[in-house]
A and B are shown apart, each in its own frame.
Chain A
């Protein structure tokens, strides 16, 4: 079945450590997104990518980095510069970003600080 796979489901990080969250899709979608969700808040956009080897900052990109070397993959690195990394991270994809169409989401990764 086509879909988006995020791994791991739960992730723990020590202070000062970088961690990478995986996101893979087999929907043949061009656009991919990373969101962060905190309790009582809506989804906030971290980074997005419209095509391979291209990505743009979203509303809260500081302390995060991404890469888009393959169409299927859009990993997110939470760096030590992110001062409040504990959150639920969601990856999404859509056919492209220029037209009206829904985004499809993975099941998320919950990141916690040890």
Chain B
């Protein structure tokens, strides 16, 4: 059962416009959320995170929004650039005993067209 869902496998956006990547989760115990970006044949690179006590976190062109009541978060990229073309993974973290467990979504492939 997928606890972290990225329902759009792919997204295509025009350069300069906004990219919105969505992520839904089912476990209300998740209290920390992360977005990673991955190019082919490379490891994921951390982009931005948000704690469940916040509803928005911004870092340059990247903003993550969290709606806890809807169990939904989104990543906004403004303005989108061709170099943003990659697979974006959403991940959610919850405390499990003495450890934190990180659950990953399946990813959304973003294509930014010049």
Contact = CB atoms under 8 A, between A and B. Distances in A.
A98 B94 CA distance: 10
Interface residues of A, number: 26
Interface in B13-54: 31-32, 34, 41-46, 49, 51
A108 B41 contact: yes
B48 to A, nearest CB: 9
Contacts, number: 51
Interface stretch (B59-67, B76-84, B95-103): B95-103
Secondary structure call for the B interface? strand
Contact of B106 (A42, A50, A103): A42
A41 B45 contact: no
Interface residues of B, number: 22
A105 B105 CA distance: 16
A100 B49 contact: yes
A108 B89 contact: no
B93 interface: yes
A29 interface: no
A56 B101 CA distance: 12
A104 B49 CA distance: 13
Given A100-B51, A100-B93, A110-B41, A42 B100 contact: no
A110 to B, nearest CB: 7
Contacts of B102: 45, 103
Nearest to B50: A100
A-B residue pairs, 8 tightest by C-beta: A105-B43, A42-B104, A102-B46, A100-B32, A43-B104, A42-B106, A107-B43, A107-B42
27 contacts: A4-B43, A6-B43, A42-B89, A42-B105, A42-B106, A42-B107, A43-B44, A43-B89, A45-B102, A50-B99, A92-B43, A99-B100, A100-B31, A100-B49, A100-B51, A100-B100, A102-B34, A102-B46, A103-B46, A104-B46, A105-B43, A105-B44, A106-B43, A107-B43, A108-B41, A108-B43, A110-B41
